[in-house]
Structure 1
Amino acid sequence: MIVLKSPQEIEKMRSAGQIVAEILDILRSEVRAGVTTLFLDGLAESEARKRKAVAAFKGYGGFPYALCCSLNEQVVHGMPSKRELVEGDIVSLDFGVVYSGYYADAAITVPVSKVTAQAERLVKVTEESLYCAIEAAVPGNRLSDISHAVQGYVERHGFSVVRDFVGHGIGKKLHESPQVPNFGEPGRGVRLKPGMVLAIEPMINERSYQVKVLADGWTAVTCDGGLSAHFEHTVAITEHGPEILSKL
């Protein structure tokens, strides 16, 4: 069942989203060669605590960290570690909080210093595909119009859309109905209504869309070793169109 949020609930989610946005902005500024993703994880959790929010991912389904840090060929759910970032890496940072009983969730992919032109293009196209999806998140459209907006944009630029992981509804729970794939034909699925809040999150691969999960049970990687990028926003569907709740 899809839970529609009241204006008061969306206001609480907006507060949670602002916290996520602020923390991701801080993390972005700390990404450089020599920094470890374990440091970024600790920083994210401490910044959430300062804002009287709880890091949403820590302990969720047994995940042991506050922040998902996915490097290069890692697609999503990467584990923070003592491995230092090096010039040329790209790192996807996925973070969520629960605040006043409501969740918000967002992700960015950050280049480390100078990266290849291909990596830079992948990051750019992935972020742009998120905004294409958000533009389609208007009342009266179908859920798959969001999905198709991502796929169409990404494939026109020669990249591929991950099928095994999708976006989701969000609210009092981190994952609610409906699932929000990043691929599919337009005009299908539920009709979008004011009060829906969706975590829209394109995960885009440099080459093949195929992925696999490593032995840690969490980290998903590209099967062919190609790069992957990930962007996400928590988005409310309103009578006036989409509102990004996780943006500064």
Structure 2
Amino acid sequence: MIELKSADEIDRMAVTGQFVGELLAELSRVAAVSVNLMDVERHARRRIEERGAESCYWDYAPSFGRGPFRNVLCLSVNDAVLHGLPHDYVLRDGDLLTIDMAVGIDGWVADSALSFVVGTPDPADLTLIEATEVALEAAIAAAQPGGRLGDVSAAIGEVARSYGYGVNGEFGGHGIGRTMHEDPHVSNSGRPGRGMKLEPGLTIAIEPWFCRSTDKIRYDADGWTIRSADGSRTAHSEHTVAITPSGPRVLTRRPAPETTPADSTGRPAAAA
């Protein structure tokens, strides 16, 4: 069932989205060379508790996981792209890290992810990250009232192909609002003009993710962490977006970084 949200409800989701965006920006500064992933996880736990928010990941137990997820972040490194299980790993120079988080505040949820390079970047990694960010912005631009869900999916697929990347159809975006995962599914590839009509009040998480040289994935023994099948690097970008009468409204925009540019760090040079 798809629930269309009122303008007031979208404003309440935006409160959560602002917190998610701000915390992701903060975590991207915390995650540096020689920092343990568990320190990033613990930092997020503390901030979420201080805000009075609730993690949507804690105790999350879908069919594909092995036991409940007992963390507040997905931390995916290098060839890991989705659902990376935080663990005892010290970040190294040149690691490509994806941070994904979803929280609820006062009953309203927001979900967002970003990828960046820790330390010295490989230009190919920056291009991969850029592709997910460009695809995300193209999909947001396509999320117009009166359009079709296929317009959003097609925009992602078109950008992926323009960069030479394949698209895996097993995982994509989703509806969001009172819970982390609601209808509809938002594929990362599709046909324009097809699918459900985009009506004001629809709230969705759009999340393009690409692997550098494959569209196949494999699972770690932990049952959670999803990696590229060939071990190539991966990247993932995500925002929570509301369809409004005047167009798409991004609810999880991050604040502009304190320093620029991102060329030497892999972090976005402007709010993404």
TM-score by length of 2: 0.89
- In the aligned structure 2, how far is the partner of 1:210 from the partner of 1:90? 19
State the partner residue of 2:135. 129
Aligned 1:19-98 pairs, distance under 5 A = 19-61=19-61, 62-98=68-104
Deviation by residue 1:149-181 (Cα, 9 ceiling, x = unmatched): 011011111112222111000011110000001
| Alignment match of 2:246 (pick from 240, 245, 248) | 240
Deviation by residue 1:191-219 (Cα, 9 ceiling, x = unmatched): 10000000000011101111122221111
CA RMSD of aligned residues (A): 0.9
- In the aligned structure 2, how far is the partner of 1:24 from the partner of 1:207? 27
Is structure 2 residue 174 aligned with structure 1 residue 168? yes
| Alignment match of 1:216 (pick from 222, 225, 230) | 222
The aligned length equals 248
Is structure 2 residue 2 aligned with structure 1 residue 2? yes
Give how far 1:97 is off.
0.7
- In the aligned structure 2, how far is the partner of 1:6 from the partner of 1:45? 30
Give how far 1:31 is off.
1.9
State the partner residue of 1:195. 201
- In the aligned structure 1, how far is the partner of 2:41 from the partner of 2:54? 13
State the partner residue of 2:16. 16
**Secondary structure of 1:104 counterpart:** strand
Amino acid at match of 2:239: H
Give how far 1:228 is off.
0.7
- In the aligned structure 1, how far is the partner of 2:37 from the partner of 2:174? 26
Amino acid at match of 2:132: T
Is structure 2 residue 125 aligned with structure 1 residue 119? yes
- In the aligned structure 2, how far is the partner of 1:160 from the partner of 1:39? 33
- In the aligned structure 1, how far is the partner of 2:211 from the partner of 2:161? 10
Give how far 1:25 is off.
0.8
Is structure 2 residue 196 aligned with structure 1 residue 207? no
Deviation by residue 1:60-117 (Cα, 9 ceiling, x = unmatched): 1111111000011001000111110101110000011110101100000011111111
Contact 1:170 1:197 in 2 (8 A): yes
Identity %: 39
- In the aligned structure 1, how far is the partner of 2:250 from the partner of 2:153? 17
- In the aligned structure 1, how far is the partner of 2:192 from the partner of 2:216? 22
Is structure 2 residue 181 aligned with structure 1 residue 154? no
- In the aligned structure 2, how far is the partner of 1:3 from the partner of 1:205? 33
> Which blocks of at least 5 consecutive residues in structure 2 are unaligned?
62-67, 255-272
- In the aligned structure 1, how far is the partner of 2:51 from the partner of 2:169? 35
- In the aligned structure 2, how far is the partner of 1:238 from the partner of 1:110? 30
Deviation by residue 1:29-79 (Cα, 9 ceiling, x = unmatched): 112110111111111111111111112211111111110000110010001
- In the aligned structure 2, how far is the partner of 1:23 from the partner of 1:183? 29
- In the aligned structure 2, how far is the partner of 1:136 from the partner of 1:45? 34
Ranges of 4+ aligned residues in structure 1 off by more than 3 Å: none
- In the aligned structure 2, how far is the partner of 1:205 from the partner of 1:178? 24
